[in-house]
Amino acid sequence: MSVPASASGSRPVSIKAAEPEPAPPAFNPGWRFYLAFSSLSIITLMAALDATSLSVALPIMAKALHGSAIQAFWAATSFLLTSTVFQPVVGNFSDVFGRRPLIYISLAFFTAGAIIAGVANNFTVILVGRSIQGIGGGGIIILTEIVVTDMVPLRERGKWFSFISSMWALGTVAGPLLGGGFAQNVTWRWIFWINFPFIAISLLFVTLFLRLNYKVGSFMEKLQRIDWIGTVLFIASMTGFLIPLTWGGVMYPWSHWRTLVPLIVCAAGLVALIVYEESLSRRGFEPVIRTEVLKNRTAAVTMFGTFIHGIVLWAILYYLPLYFEGVHGFSAILTGVALFPLTFTVAPASVATGVAIAISGRYRWSTWVGWFLTVFGLGLMTMLKTHTSTAAWVFLTLVPGIGTGMLFAAMAIAVQASSTDKLMSHAVIMNALFRSLGQTVGSAIGGVIVQNQMKKKLLKYPLLADKADAYSRDASGLVQIIKNMPESLAKSQLKDAYVDALKVLMIVMCALSALAFIASWFTEGHPLDRELVTEQGFQDGKKTTDEEKVKTEG
């Protein structure tokens, strides 16, 4: 459109229509990117192997080190606890000090923990080593997720995130097999020594290829940016909350003061933390927990789903192996193989979902389909019986593996699509925190359900009624009792009791998944075609200008 010339004879002024925003630049990763991404995949696989390889080896370790069942329990649980607590802390520190320095620090903690546990001659030393490893493992898990958001545009991020998820899934599958194989045929210490080739390769690849940007600033200025009060309050409250949540029903009854008092006090501490962090945000400071990411509807319902996803997956992965070991009499290695229909479908489903999201530019469908298959699959798993055939249990455990695998990629993208660029790393941190909390709560809920239902069932059997309390208290210990019993009516009734408890557990997990499925329909469809905006982006070898005020790490 144009307007007439002015009286002075000047040319007409041309007025152009507003042009649409240009499309984000094409994502064309080079060889350095692929090698850098490989470093993230390697350390994720390492953390997953270490998180899951110890569980099947614990009975052998307890016998070799003359440890109690409680000591063995804490050796397995300590990694998950410290990993959950320190993920948000490490993620927040990486915003201030840079991603790669925190990766090095996490690898250092992981290595130190592996050495301590590997040379241990008692469970106290193993507990210390596993706790230190958990700090490093938690840092590795959260930093790999954050770095992907720094390296990959949102539209393409689904498939790259799914590769990271597949490494975790592969580690959870291979971990029990490696742990059982080492413990039975070599020595349990190799569960820790096997980490060192991964650590060496990771250090080499991270140093050579993972070059990221970070803002220049003095070390003292960076220290002043840290929310020290919030960090200490978070670590203390979360640790004090998770420990009794973990030992409830195992070391002490849920009604015992040692369980209830720290739960109530530390829950109050977490409420105080939220109030304090809110006040920091209003005053323009940087809190360790950014509650504003939850004020978006899509993020809120998706993180609720992530929490439920953690509960469901961890409950299945803990109690389904005991079904194969106790009811079917499988060895530790064969149990790992029996889990393949569930665990080996997670990675392909996650990768396929991520690729489909990248191609279509839409993600809501994958959340809905994932939760539907999870609900349907858990419903199928209620059909597991004492004498279920191999073909039957393969089919029954296949569907929930596909559903839960799809949700890894789907929910990660939903949270990130609903976040602003400024809060992206905090959205990733919160999502990881809810997933870890779900895993811990899943173990606790699963224990309560299985313990109560087994006790209720065993009290109906005259042969077992006097031992109902002792047998129902420790599900993993019961597996060894069943294996060592001669064929008898009592053994058959014990198997029936466990299968009945597992059925009730699956019903509860199915109901929780149905709630998450309903909540997922409130997910909004945000556009994925956004330009990558980050302060710590990947360096592809091009020179940076002074105006960017960035510095290449290393």
Q: What value does the mean pLDDT take over residues 200-205?
A: 88
Report d(CA 238, CA 263) in Å as an integer. 10
- For residues 97-135, one letter each, b for 16 or more C-beta atoms within 10 angstroms of the residue's C-beta and e for the rest, the string is bbbbebbebbbbbbbebbbbbbebeebeebbebbbbbbb
Q: What values do phi and psi take at 2, rounded to 5?
A: -135, 165
272-276, 285-289, 357-361: range with lowest mean pLDDT: 285-289
pLDDT above 90 as % of the chain: 21
Q: State the pLDDT confidence band at 272, using cuts at 50, 70 and 90.
A: very high
Per-residue HEC secondary structure of 82-118 comes to HHHHHHHHHHHHHHHHCHHHHHHHHHHHHHHHHHHHH
- In this predicted structure, what is the pLDDT of residue 69? 66
Q: With bands split at pLDDT 50, 70 and 90, how would you rate the model's confidence at 160?
A: confident
If we measure between CA atoms, which residue out of 178, 195, 197 comes closest to residue 336? 178
Q: Is 42 left (phi over 0), alpha (psi -120 to 50) or beta?
A: alpha
Cβ 327 vs Cβ 499: under 8 Å: yes
pLDDT at 24: 61
Q: What tens digit of pLDDT does each residue of 39-61 get?
A: 888 888 888 887 777 767 777 77
Residue 57: C-alpha distances to residues 50, 260, 479 (Å): 12, 31, 14
Predicted local distance difference test score (pLDDT) of residue 112: 94
| Mean predicted confidence (pLDDT) in 428-438 | 89
Res. 543: pLDDT tops 70? no
Average pLDDT of 313-338?
A: 81
> 473-497: per-residue pLDDT in tens?
766 677 778 877 888 888 888 888 8
Closest CA to 309 of 472, 147, 442: 442
Higher pLDDT, 3 or 520: 520
The tokens for 246 are 């973990």
Residue 108 to residues 112, 231, 404: CA-CA distances in angstroms? 6, 21, 32
Total Cβ atoms within 10 A of residue 276: 18
Q: How far apart are CA 301 and CA 228, in angstroms?
A: 30
- The pLDDT-based confidence of 19 (bands split at 50, 70, 90) is very low
Contact 67, 61 (CB under 8 A): yes
- Residue 69 gets the label, from left (phi > 0), alpha (psi -120 to 50) or beta, of alpha
What's the rounded mean pLDDT across residues 497-518?
Answer: 93
**Residues 416 and 405: beta-carbon distance below 8 Å:** no
pLDDT (0 to 100) of residue 164: 82
Whole-number Å distance between alpha carbons of 343 and 341 = 6
Is the pLDDT at 150 greater than 80? The verdict is yes
Q: What letter would DSSP give residue 212?
A: B
pLDDT at residue 381 is higher than 50: yes
Query: How far, in Å, CA of 177 to CA of 183, rounded?
Result: 10
Query: What is the predicted pLDDT for the residue at 22?
Result: 55
Query: Six-digit token pair at 150?
Result: 């720094």
Cβ neighbors of 314 (< 8 A, separation 6 or more) are 438, 439, 440, 442, 443, 446
Q: Which long-range contacts does 117-120 make (Cβ < 8 Å, 24+ apart)?
A: 117/192, 118/189, 118/192, 118/193, 119/189, 120/65
User: CA quadruple 91, 96, 100, 105: dihedral positive or negative?
Assistant: negative
> Which tens digit of pLDDT belongs to each residue from 393-413?
888 889 998 999 899 889 989
Tokens in use for 141?
A: 């898990």
CA 136 to chain centroid, in Å, comes to 14
**What is the band of 15 on the pLDDT scale with cuts at 50, 70, 90?**
very low
Instruction: Give residue 345's pLDDT.
Output: 83
Residue 285 vs residue 187, higher pLDDT: 187
More confidently predicted of 509 and 173: 509
How far apart are alpha carbons 554 and 552 in whole angstroms? 6
The single-letter DSSP state of residue 549 is -
Backbone angles phi, psi at 252, to 5 degrees: -135, 150
